[in-house]
């Protein structure tokens, strides 16, 4: 495989259409009153955990679109994150702390390696594109690549064998998938559609498979 | 890939060396007082969930070796299970209900598709072998196969391409790995060592990768 762990920075973006946007939710009811926050929590685990270490080259962005203060983005940086354990309550607790801050349009750090800002998917794609060149504007063979995880995409095993991205960004939907408006914005940002196998899987399972493909 | 979803029965066996063996643990503290029961819960999710369905051809066995009443085995059958949601508390709650029953050496159903018995890894391997022929005694090309997930094993992508098991059983350790005694019993049962990639991963992540390999 062409994308070695030490050179390929990885980013995951997950959209939680119902996920709570303040810190009032209960850690005892992540799927219910927190708006399927359990999905977001498992995605953090899938993105960042190795057996006895963290993936320092991975960042995950959670786009939270539920009530009462949408849209917000919470970022976990594997390079800097602390106080994170693999269980759902642990990542849920750090998300809750981030959402207890007053979010603005600039990133604010809530606990080490966890950040929050106001913003939606379009805002994040614009930021990533302007800051560091994700998308079609960059060099095809050596630059940064944007991928949209979708059932109708190209098999990642075929896609990854011919690419050498310095940074790879993967966008995933939650249990309700993406809206057509979101899909349009993703495609406008230059994303290529990929899939991870013949069956439709949860977002956190897809992240495991993407990480493994890039590990190889 | 040779192992189609509709013909290949899959079994996962996960050993939880510290996992609680009665129903007194708190769902609010699965990693702590429940003895890393969070690992077991995530393994159930990884084994059984598709995006909007369950894997009906998968069974997962949790070998629980913590206090106060070891050893016990809890079985989730994807074919029959009900009341299971993807979050850790959901599988944790069904495990807790199973452990509230008085376990004996024969299986007892606690909720639909969830069963409990007394027993350890050796007991389970003996049962699977005598009932249905897992291990080296069965036909090499068309029978049942036993695999041990281990860092030093053969890459699953090489292993699976040449095999056609009717039933494949995969054994995984928890965060502390297997004891040498357990490893000996696994090898005595005819297991082949495989791995799922170049990095050491959590058991639940390995299960995702095995399922995906068999899906293909």
Residue A144's pLDDT is what?
80
Task: Tell if the CB–CB gap between B205 and A46 is shorter than 8 Å.
Answer: yes
Tell whether A174 is within 8 A of chain B (Cβ).
no
Q: Which of A89, A91, A152 to mutate against chain B (most B CBs within 10 Å)?
A: A89
Task: Tell if the CB–CB gap between B201 and A51 is shorter than 8 Å.
Answer: yes
Residue from A12, A45, A31, A25 nearest A93 by CA: A25
- Across A15-24, B123-132, B182-191, B195-204, least confident range: B123-132
Counting residues of chain A whose pLDDT is more than 70, the rounded percentage is 88
Residue A17's pLDDT is what?
98
More confident residue, B213 or A6: B213
Mean pLDDT, rounded, of chain B: 90
More confident residue, B137 or B108: B108
Using pLDDT thresholds of 50, 70 and 90, give the confidence band for residue B133: very low
Residue B205's pLDDT is what?
98
Residue A134's pLDDT is what?
47
Residue A73's pLDDT is what?
98
The answer to whether residues A169 and A145 touch, using CB atoms and an 8 Å cutoff, is: yes
Using pLDDT thresholds of 50, 70 and 90, give the confidence band for residue B139: very low
Q: Average pLDDT, stretch B101-105?
A: 97
Does residue B5 register a pLDDT over 60? Answer: no
Tell whether A87 is within 8 A of chain B (Cβ).
yes
Residue A4's pLDDT is what?
45
Q: Which residues of chain A does B89 touch, with a Cβ-Cβ cutoff of 8 Å?
A: 28, 30, 88
Using pLDDT thresholds of 50, 70 and 90, give the confidence band for residue A142: very low
Calculate the CA A90 to chain-centre distance.
17
Counting residues of chain B whose pLDDT is more than 90, the rounded percentage is 81
Task: Tell if the CB–CB gap between A216 and B197 is shorter than 8 Å.
Answer: yes
Q: Which residues of chain A does B197 touch, with a Cβ-Cβ cutoff of 8 Å?
A: 212, 215-216
Residue A175's pLDDT is what?
87
Task: Tell if the CB–CB gap between A50 and B199 is shorter than 8 Å.
Answer: yes
Mean pLDDT, rounded, of chain A: 90
Using pLDDT thresholds of 50, 70 and 90, give the confidence band for residue A7: low
Using pLDDT thresholds of 50, 70 and 90, give the confidence band for residue A136: very low
Residue for token pair 């309550």: A89
Q: How far is B155 from chain A (nearest CA, A)?
A: 11
The secondary structure of residue B49, as a DSSP letter, is: B
Using pLDDT thresholds of 50, 70 and 90, give the confidence band for residue B144: confident
Calculate the CA B17 to chain-centre distance.
13
Does residue A18 register a pLDDT over 90? Answer: yes
Does residue B165 register a pLDDT over 80? Answer: no
Q: Which residues contact B169 (CB under 8 A, 6 or more apart)?
A: B10, B11, B12, B13, B128, B134, B144, B145, B146, B147
CA–CA separation, A104 and A71 (whole Å): 11
CA–CA separation, B30 and B155 (whole Å): 32
- Across A203-207, B131-135, B173-177, least confident range: B131-135
CA–CA separation, A174 and A40 (whole Å): 8
Q: Which residues of chain A does B28 touch, with a Cβ-Cβ cutoff of 8 Å?
A: 27-28, 89
Neighbours of A32 (CB within 10 A): 14
Q: Convert the pLDDT of each residue in A93-118 to its tens digit.
A: 999 999 999 999 999 999 999 999 99
Does residue B91 register a pLDDT over 50? Answer: yes
Residue A168's pLDDT is what?
93
Q: Convert the pLDDT of each residue in A157-198 to its tens digit.
A: 987 655 656 889 999 999 888 999 999 999 999 999 999 999
Q: Which of A25, A39, A88, A92 to mutate against chain B (most B CBs within 10 Å)?
A: A88
């Amino acid at each position: 495989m062409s994308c070695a762990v030490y050179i390929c920075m990885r980013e995951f973006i997950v959209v939680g259409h119902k996920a709570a946007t303040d810190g009032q939710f209960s850690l005892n009811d992540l799927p219910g009153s927190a708006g399927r926050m359990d999905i977001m929590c498992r995605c953090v685990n899938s993105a960042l955990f190795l057996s006895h270490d963290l993936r320092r080259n991975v960042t995950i962005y959670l786009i939270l679109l539920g009530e009462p203060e949408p849209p917000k983005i919470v970022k976990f940086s594997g390079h800097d994150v602390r106080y994170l354990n693999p269980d759902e309550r642990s990542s849920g607790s750090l998300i809750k702390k981030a959402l207890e801050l007053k979010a603005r349009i600039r990133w604010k750090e809530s606990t080490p390696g966890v950040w929050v800002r106001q913003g939606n998917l379009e805002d994040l794609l614009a930021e990533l594109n302007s800051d560091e060149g994700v998308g079609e504007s960059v060099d095809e063979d050596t630059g940064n690549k944007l991928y949209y995880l979708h059932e109708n995409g190209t098999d990642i095993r075929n896609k990854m064998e011919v690419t050498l991205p310095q940074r790879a960004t993967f966008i995933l939907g939650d249990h309700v998938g993406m809206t057509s408006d979101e899909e349009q914005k993703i495609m406008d940002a230059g994303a290529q559609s990929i899939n991870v196998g013949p069956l439709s899987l949860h977002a956190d399972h897809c992240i495991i498979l993407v990480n493994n493909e890039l590990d190889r």
